[in-house]
């Protein structure tokens, strides 16, 4: 059984959440919020507790209110516009003034306590069944009402003692609801309960009261009015109610009640008729027809069926009303919208208010009642929205947005029977000059040209070779940077990475980068130890070095395949292809050619003669000429396809790279391409993406940074914190790596995905972007390209000179305590072109400002080969012989540093200032 939540219980008890929470706390039951679930025994305890407390105060209240004030007064208040007070507190009002007056001694009315519920349909059931006890009570208690009362009580649910004034209330409530146009919706919601009302009708008005539950108050007041007025024409009343079935019912009830009353009436002037009068002033009278229809509906629903109201009486009444109505101008019928409102996973307060046909202020007030402080633009989740809607007597439905984009991007599970082996897609990576291009060329030349017309191959970004009757697709853009750039765009096209390591050079920084990039993408690696033709080649050394990076080759007992090759001498190429096929086989690379194509754009350009041209790697399905496709924000129909050998083809199977013509625009490398059967849908999705792209360009979203790390952790968005560390020496990296990994908590695991000695470069940033990693530089700086890329990719580069500070910052960031008051801003870079020694001053650097500017009071850092070798202050800054306050980009200057003379030609002097950062409260 589902546990009861605090707000549900509060609603049941008809008290506000806060009060209940306080009560629970005082009883030693710990709850965090209104959404907290309660144990059954706790619920029982509190019920017990409130069984007494709540009732009493309420009764008192009700009595006081009602008794003290004549119905009119109540009415008056209502009319003055209290209308939509917090339902939490209203219940008393809703009891209906008239009723109370008449029966001062009546016991607490549970009905009202249950009101919130009553706004929900389930109530109906509750009410129906317990008429018997009521009768008794009525007989005893109510002089006035007679039968009418009885039924009311019944509705209320047996437990309640009879109310004499039942008439008064119900009407009032109801009318209130009707009275306000705004209430229409609620009424709709309330309609669910017609049963209640009906029973009320049988008795007279009472039902109304019940029904309205939440709406009650306004109604109550009206009820009061009615009472005063005596029985105005039913027609009027109805018109007042105009909108809905309620009106009808009321009419019906009114009569019934009257019938029942007979003599009673005199006692209670309040009772039935008032609604009509109230209605009169209001222009919105429901035409008779409407009423008739509504009633029919009720009858259909069976809600009236159990109402003991004599239908014949009702009908008579109705007729009477109709006549009257015919005389009076028919107001526009108010349509009651019974449908639940559609709410998505989240909805803004504003939107919710609109859907509820309430003002945002009303919704915000309700939220406050739940202890939620929200602004108009703030989003609330579906559960909260449901809660709020129920406060207004409206139901919600979870709207599962039909996401057209998701529709076209959905990858239906392929029937295993349809799956066939597809060629592996291979990317070549490695350090500069280790022979990536040579290897690609060698493979292409040896394996592609044979048998091809003229041996001419088309450069389309990828090509296929055949080995032992099996195809292999090579992505023709060597380098892990390109690979990661593609991955950063969400595209995963590579099945196998070939890591080229020159046998005469060994594992170099970019080899390590490539390893880490491939690992981060979870792609199997085959090592091609190249240049083995060279006399200085030392493949064993390469294998040994690889073990430092967790790549243990088979010879050394590991599982990494290493193939000695020579791109130049064409040695080992067959073996390499063999191994590629082997790995492919192990990984069972399969695709279903019998479905619409799906692939990735490898490159794209605008060709003068041919228009937008895109090279696409088909990854699943088959792409045909004539297919409608969407690639990123571009759609089109494939007009022509050209394969990697320059031949026009009609179809492209999985793992085939093809150039396609016919797109409306140039897509981007990395865009996912899908063939879509519905052209209109394709157009819509492309349009939507184009729009979104524009919006995104406007508010380029920042990647994760130390500053917002805690927020992401709290929101559960990150479970792992990938970190890239670049440092001046290997020792620092090791120290940092150890210390950082120790910071892992249960919530977040710190994962050092890449580290290296030297300046922070472009590929580091690219990797950070692809892996949403944090970049830490220890005694190193980002190079120009890295800085630019970091800016565009919104990657935060964190630079330090003290290990303790790195650890401290990450730790603080993870716990939300990071509070850097200062931020360093680099204002310029100066290149040292010449150095002079001056006996008194020391070394003077003849410099050129390459970027930004340098100011006399700026902090400076001397950077040599990307590594910070000194940080300090300027001793002097001169333009020719004059002291200068600042020197801008493109100008020369003379610089002497304070207590530092080891400046060399080629050094870069970075000028920076420290800005105070005003931290925002989170
Ligand atoms: N002796 C020898 N030289 C090779 C071999 N493979 C490549 N080279 C030479 O190594 C140099 C670099 O080769 P590339 O193919 O340009 O290397 P790369 O890795 O593509 O270089 P970048 O594109 O700059 O990253 C060239 O001069 C090649 O001729 C080989 O197997 N043996």
Place 598 in a pLDDT band, splitting at 50, 70 and 90. very high
Which one is predicted more confidently, 511 or 734? 511
Residue 217 has pLDDT above 70, yes or no: no
pTM score of the predicted model: 0.45
Q: Choose from 38-52, 221-235, 422-436, 734-748 the range with maximum mean pLDDT.
A: 422-436
Nearest residue (by CA) to ligand 1, atom 32, is 531
Compute and round to an integer the Cα radius of gyration of the chain. 40
Nearest residue (by CA) to ligand 1, atom 6, is 435
Residues 6+ apart with CB under 8 A from 301: 194, 195
The answer to whether 135 is a known ligand-binding residue is: no
Place 308 in a pLDDT band, splitting at 50, 70 and 90. very low
pLDDT at 509: 86
Question: Tens digits of per-residue pLDDT, 561-585?
Answer: 999 999 999 999 999 999 999 999 9
Domains delineated in the chain: 6-51 (no CATH), 341-401 (1.10.10), 420-590 (3.40.50.300), 609-702 (2.40.30.10), 716-817 (3.40.50.10050), 821-917 (2.40.30.10)
Question: CA 718, 719, 721: angle at the middle one, nearest 5?
Answer: 75
pLDDT at 24: 81
The answer to whether 690 is a known ligand-binding residue is: no
Which one is predicted more confidently, 403 or 159? 403
pLDDT at 2: 58
Tokens 């009444």 found at: 317
The answer to whether 479 is a known ligand-binding residue is: yes
Place 294 in a pLDDT band, splitting at 50, 70 and 90. very low
The answer to whether 478 is a known ligand-binding residue is: yes
Q: What percent of the chain has pLDDT over 70?
A: 62
Which atom belonging to ligand 1 lies closest to the Cα atom of 441?
A: 15
Distance (Å) of CA 363 to CA 121, 153, 637, 753: 22, 33, 49, 47
> DSSP character for 339?
S
Q: How far is the CA of 438 from the centre of ligand 1 (A)?
A: 5
Instruction: Confirm if 75 and 36 have CB atoms less than 8 A apart.
Output: no
The answer to whether 533 is a known ligand-binding residue is: yes
The gap from C-alpha 628 to its chain's centroid, in whole angstroms, comes to 31
Place 543 in a pLDDT band, splitting at 50, 70 and 90. very high
Q: Write the DSSP string, 403-471.
A: -HHHHHH--PPPPGGG-EE---EEEEEESTTSSHHHHHHHHHHHHTSTTSGGG----SSEEEEEETTEE
In this structure, the number of other CB atoms found within 10 A of the CB of residue 802 comes to: 10
Tokens 């009553």 found at: 118
Nearest residue (by CA) to ligand 1, atom 27, is 433
H helices present in 699-834, as ranges: 706-714, 730-741, 762-771, 784-793, 803-815
Question: Tens digits of per-residue pLDDT, 866-882?
Answer: 888 898 899 899 988 88
Which atom belonging to ligand 1 lies closest to the Cα atom of 569?
A: 31
Place 173 in a pLDDT band, splitting at 50, 70 and 90. very low
What is the average pLDDT across 818-833? 78
Instruction: Confirm if 258 and 171 have CB atoms less than 8 A apart.
Output: no
Which atom belonging to ligand 1 lies closest to the Cα atom of 565?
A: 31
Q: What percent of the chain has pLDDT over 90?
A: 20
Q: Choose from 30-34, 174-178, 224-228, 535-539 the range with maximum mean pLDDT.
A: 535-539
What is the average pLDDT across 247-266? 36
Phi-psi group of 672: left, alpha or beta (phi > 0 → left; psi -120 to 50 → alpha; rest → beta): beta
pLDDT at 785: 87
User: Ligand 1 — pocket residues by CB below 6 A?
Assistant: 430, 432-438, 478, 530-531, 533-534, 566-568
Q: Quote the CA–CA distance of 13 and 115 in Å, as a whole number.
A: 9
N-to-C CA span, the chain: 39
Q: Return the best residue to mutate from 510, 567, 570 for the ligand 1 pocket (most ligand atoms within 8 A of CB).
A: 567
Place 781 in a pLDDT band, splitting at 50, 70 and 90. confident
Q: How far is the CA of 866 from the centre of ligand 1 (A)?
A: 26
pLDDT at 471: 92
Place 784 in a pLDDT band, splitting at 50, 70 and 90. confident
pLDDT at 426: 93
The answer to whether 530 is a known ligand-binding residue is: yes
What is the average pLDDT across 295-302? 41
Q: Return the best residue to mutate from 434, 435, 535 for the ligand 1 pocket (most ligand atoms within 8 A of CB).
A: 435
pLDDT at 448: 54
Instruction: Confirm if 877 and 856 have CB atoms less than 8 A apart.
Output: yes
Q: How far is the CA of 787 from the centre of ligand 1 (A)?
A: 29
Question: Tens digits of per-residue pLDDT, 74-90?
Answer: 433 433 333 343 333 33
């Amino acid at each position: 059984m589902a546990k009861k939540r605090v707000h549900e219980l509060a609603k049941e008890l008809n008290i506000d959440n806060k009060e209940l929470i306080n009560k629970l706390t005082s009883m030693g039951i710990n709850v965090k919020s209104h959404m907290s679930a309660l144990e059954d025994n706790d619920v029982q305890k509190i019920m017990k507790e409130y069984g007494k407390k709540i009732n009493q105060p309420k009764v008192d209240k009700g009595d006081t209110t009602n008794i003290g004030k004549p119905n009119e007064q109540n009415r008056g208040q209502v009319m003055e516009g209290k209308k939509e007070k917090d339902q939490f507190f209203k219940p008393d009002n809703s009891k209906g003034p008239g009723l109370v007056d008449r029966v001062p001694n009546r016991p607490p009315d549970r009905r009202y306590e249950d009101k919130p519920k009553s706004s929900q349909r389930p109530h109906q059931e509750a009410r129906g069944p317990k008429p018997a006890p009521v009768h008794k009570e009525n007989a005893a208690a109510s002089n006035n009402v007679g039968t009418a009362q009885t039924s009311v009580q019944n509705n209320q649910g047996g437990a309640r003692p009879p109310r004499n004034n039942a008439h008064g209330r119900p009407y009032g409530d109801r009318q209130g609801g009707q009275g306000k146009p705004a209430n229409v919706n609620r009424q709709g919601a309330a309609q669910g309960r017609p049963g209640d009302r009906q029973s009320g009708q049988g008795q007279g008005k009472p039902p109304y009261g019940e029904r309205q539950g939440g709406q009650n108050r306004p109604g109550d007041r009206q009820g009061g009015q009615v009472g005063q007025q005596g029985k105005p024409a039913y027609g009027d009343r109805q018109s007042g109610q105009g909108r809905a079935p309620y009106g009808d019912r009321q009419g019906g009830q009114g009569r019934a009640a009257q019938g029942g009353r007979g003599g009673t009436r005199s006692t209670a002037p309040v009772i039935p008729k008032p609604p009509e009068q109230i209605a009169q002033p209001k222009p919105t009278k429901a035409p008779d027809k409407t009423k008739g229809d509504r009633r029919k509906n009720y009858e259909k629903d069976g809600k009236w069926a159990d109402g003991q109201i004599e239908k014949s009486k009702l009908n008579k009444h109705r007729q009477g009303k109709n006549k009257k109505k015919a005389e009076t101008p028919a107001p526009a019928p108010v349509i009651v919208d019974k449908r639940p409102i559609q709410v998505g996973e989240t909805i803004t307060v504003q939107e919710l208010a609109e859907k509820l046909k309430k003002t945002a202020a009303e919704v915000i007030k309700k939220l406050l009642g739940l202890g939620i402080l929200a602004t108009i633009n703030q989003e609330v989740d579906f559960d909260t929205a449901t809660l709020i809607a129920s406060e207004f007597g409206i139901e919600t439905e979870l709207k599962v947005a039909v996401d057209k984009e998701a529709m076209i991007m959905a990858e239906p599970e392929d029937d295993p029977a349809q799956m066939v082996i597809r060629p592996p897609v291979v990317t070549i990576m490695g350090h500069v000059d280790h022979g990536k291009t040579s290897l690609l060329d060698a493979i292409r030349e040896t394996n592609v040209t044979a048998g091809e017309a003229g041996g001419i191959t088309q450069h389309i970004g990828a090509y296929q070779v055949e080995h032992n009757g099996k195809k292999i697709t090579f992505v023709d853009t060597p380098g892990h940077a390109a690979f990661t750039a593609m991955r950063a765009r969400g595209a995963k096209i590579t099945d196998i990475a070939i890591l080229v390591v020159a046998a005469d050079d060994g594992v170099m920084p970019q080899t390590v980068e490539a390893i880490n990039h491939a690992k981060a993408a979870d792609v199997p690696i085959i090592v091609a130890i190249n240049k083995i033709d060279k006399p200085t080649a030392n493949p064993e050394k390469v294998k040994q070095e690889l073990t430092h990076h967790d790549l243990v080759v088979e010879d050394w007992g590991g599982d990494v395949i290493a193939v000695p090759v020579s791109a130049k001498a064409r040695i080992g190429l067959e073996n390499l292809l063999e191994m590629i096929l082997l790995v492919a086989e192990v990984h069972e690379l399969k695709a279903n050619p019998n479905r619409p194509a799906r692939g990735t754009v490898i490159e794209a350009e605008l060709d003068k003669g041919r228009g937008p041209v895109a090279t696409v790697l088909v990854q699943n399905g088959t792409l045909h000429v004539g297919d409608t496709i969407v690639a990123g924000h571009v759609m089109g129909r494939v007009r022509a396809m050209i394969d990697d050998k320059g031949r026009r083809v009609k179809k492209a199977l999985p793992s085939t790279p093809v150039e396609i013509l016919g797109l409306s625009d140039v897509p981007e490398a990395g865009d996912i391409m899908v063939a879509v059967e519905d052209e209109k849908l394709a157009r819509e999705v492309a349009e939507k993406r184009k729009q979104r792209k524009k919006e995104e360009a406007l508010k380029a979203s920042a990647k994760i940074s130390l500053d917002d790390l805690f927020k992401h952790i709290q929101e559960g968005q990150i479970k792992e914190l990938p970190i890239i560390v670049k440092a001046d020496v290997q020792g620092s990296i090791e120290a940092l790596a150890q210390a950082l990994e120790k910071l892992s908590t249960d919530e977040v695991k710190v994962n050092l995905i890449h580290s290296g000695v030297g300046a922070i470069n472009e590929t580091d940033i690219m990797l950070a972007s692809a892996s949403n990693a944090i970049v830490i530089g220890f005694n190193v700086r980002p190079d120009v390209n890295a800085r630019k890329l970091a800016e565009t990719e919104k990657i935060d580069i964190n630079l330090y000179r003290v290990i303790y500070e790195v650890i401290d910052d990450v730790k603080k960031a993870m716990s939300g305590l990071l509070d850097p008051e200062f931020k360093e801003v680099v204002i310029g870079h100066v290149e040292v072109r010449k150095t002079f020694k001056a006996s008194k001053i020391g070394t003077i650097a003849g410099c050129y400002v390459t970027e930004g500017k340098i100011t006399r009071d700026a902090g400076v850092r001397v950077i040599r080969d990307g590594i910070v070798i000194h940080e300090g202050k300027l001793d002097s800054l001169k333009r020719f012989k004059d002291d200068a306050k600042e020197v801008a980009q493109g100008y020369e200057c003379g610089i002497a540093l304070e207590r530092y003379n080891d400046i060399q030609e080629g050094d870069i002097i970075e000028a920076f200032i420290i800005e105070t950062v005003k931290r925002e409260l989170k």
